[in-house]
Structure 1
Amino acid sequence: MKHLDHRHCSTLGTVHESDLTPGTIRYYDTGGDGPPVVFVHGFMMNANTWRKVVPAVAAAGHRCIAPDLPLGAHSIPVPDADLTPIGIADILAEFLDRMDLTDVTLVANDSGGVVAQILIARNPARVARVVLASVDCYEAFPPARYSWLTKAIKIPGATRAVTSIIRFRALQRLPFTFGPATKRPIPPAVMDSFLLPSRHSAAIRADLARFVSRGVSNTFTLDVARQLPSVTKPVLIAWAREDQLVPAEYAERLARDLPNSTLRFIDDTHMLVQEDQPDALTDLIIEFARQHPVH
């Protein structure tokens, strides 16, 4: 099968592919032998969302690794994979094993935070610390404003129509599309890197529809929430104070449930803090990793 061209920013590092049991995923790696930071993106995004954060984290001495997970903006179809959040968490766990990564700082945003929560509850061995940067959790999976999108994609044959509609740039800042996710528009080339894979590939659309139909449900987040009090890893909850999708009270709830957590708010940003306030998020990641060394 011919893979789609990747359109990611070169600041993410060198592109590679990893052959895992459920299928092949693409990832970006800055290299080096510094302590690893692994970045987990959300639904209908890919590693390119971390393009503003990776360079400074790498410059601070970390090896930065950003996989394209099969959440609808990936370039390599995985038709045989379990695309529930549990299945994707298991893909990420196998990826960490295959890369032989230890002492990992896991940084997650948006629905990637659901994957991260499940990973640290099920397979925490390779993860030393976690940054949950404005993530879906509890009842907010999906966030209420996006329930129309998940309902539409669950209609047989509707995925192509949905992905065709959101290709129009004039629609991408509306309250029911990408508008609430950022305070400022995402550059067109970056939006293309998110949206072109599902627009151009029926196999990617099939993966996207499978994830939504089987995986986007707060059954997963409410289930893992019951396990959070037993998570002892240090967790930084870095939340957009003006998050319109998963408001600040969810961050406070996570801070109560996670026994070794720190809550920090980031101003002047909506949910995608790596897009609106990358420098602030970068500083928090570097500081948090420095404050929690592995003994």
Structure 2
Amino acid sequence: MPHPSPLPSELPDYFAVAQARTLGVPAQRLGRRDLHAPYRGVRGRGSDTASGDLRDQCLRYAPRLRPWQFFSHETALSLYGAPTPDWPYRPALHVSAHRPAREPRIAGVVGHRLQLREPLTARDAAGLPIEHAVRAWRQCGTLWGRDDLIAAGEFLVSGPRPLATVEELRDEVQAMGDTTRGLLRRALAEMRVGARSPRETRLRLLLVRAGLPHPEINWNLHDPDGRFVAELDLAYPRYRVCPEYDGRVHAEDPAQFARDADRWDRIRAAGWEHVRILNHHLRGSGAAAVEKVARALRAQGWRPGRL
């Protein structure tokens, strides 16, 4: 069998059949074995190497997007880099359009026809059209639980270049409405600026809901002479206790692990109790993590009911 004729260089890795036909590619060429069809009307170069990566799914679907359609809901938040619910939950591919335009109706895609509203989409580095981060967060109120909304919201409002502010999230809920039982407003009430990971958020929520004091976030620890010691993810300055989540299963980077161990020693040398929380402490109800921190606080003079 002769080798397939080369495709036009203008065609990307995934392209619409209509685009190829416009460039003069014969219909029979689009059925050759060096191409695959991830969706009806779309072709991809090479064999089908489908993965669970949501960005890859978006790239595979993108040639089908109509000019008025865009990735929304948890798909958009994932493209921004926000955390999504833990495994085994798998975010779906959500594509939306504002009324009166039509959403897609095809297997493997969740289509949404949104309220008539001025579009406010952005484009990521790959040129994918994605819903505004604030709107996408509110849309996830129909999909996720409160803690996942808090973790994603804290991602949006934290970091050196936040994608939103708490006020913007609150204004969006005020303008477009909340979900059943005020889920979004309850999430906003527990949201804090500065959290660096969903596990750190989960740990903080566990501690506060168990009746422990509210910890400070990203507390700068200095020694008695004013010299900087460390920035603490979570801290109880009154009791000199700092719980920190460490998600490493083992020391994959010995040099980094050594630096961290030295940092823990400096924290203890400054008179603080460092409580290292590992992933297994957060499993289930997280009671093990709460007990470790409560024990350290009690040893430093805290009693239930105190701030």
**TM-score, structure 2 normalization:** 0.27
Bigger helix share: 1
More relative contact order in 1 or in 2 (CA 8 Å, sep 6+)? 1
